[in-house]
Amino acid sequence: SAVISQKPSRDICQRGTSLTIQCQVDSQVTMMFWYRQQPGQSLTLIATANQGSEATYESGFVIDKFPISRPNLTFSTLTVSNMSPEDSSIYLCSVEVQDTANTGELFFGEGSRLTVL
């Protein structure tokens, strides 16, 4: 298993500003992901945070808007840049842990709820 700490847990932001979300894992993990969960919707993958190289972004998400850092195997940050009200969402950090059957199970942080005014 993995214990994930995310902060901030929630924030209210002004339009045009940027906010960085931190994700700390209690063990070294290879795969770390950032998801977005908009109100009433399911989880959408933003990007895979790669240690030592640039993040891999999904269609519809770009580095300029969502820069990601992954300086080591236990920590990552996601920045939401130049925010607009459409960015109001829950942002979740997730890690994949392989169990003894080599099944990749995802563990999630508790999320960062951003409201952009």
Partner 1 sequence: GQNIDQPTEMTATEGAIVQINCTYQTSGFNGLFWYQQHAGEAPTFLSYNVLDGLEEKGRFSSFLSRSKGYSYLLLKELQMKDSASYLCAADQTGANNLFFGTGTRLTVIP
Q: Does 56 bind partner 1 (CB under 8 A)?
A: yes
Minimal CA–CA distance to 51: which of 114, 16, 95? 95
**What is the residue type of 107?**
F
Is the Cβ of residue 3 or residue 62 nearer to partner 1 in the bound state?
3
Strand order in the sheet with 75-80: 4-7, 19-25, 75-80, 68-72
Question: Pick from 21, 33, 74, 116: which binds partner 1 (CB under 8 A)?
Answer: 33
Least separation in angstroms between CB 95 and partner 1: 12
Q: Is 45 in the site for partner 1 (CB under 8 A)?
A: yes
Residue 110 C-beta: closest distance to partner 1, Å? 5
Q: How is the chain split among helix, strand and coil, in percent rounded to 5?
A: 5, 50, 45
57 binding partner 1? (CB under 8 A): no
Distance CA 109, CA 8 (A): 11
Residue 100 touching partner 1 (CB under 8 A): no
The residues that touch partner 1, with contacts defined as CB under 8 A, are 4, 31, 33, 41-45, 48, 56, 58, 92, 96, 103-111
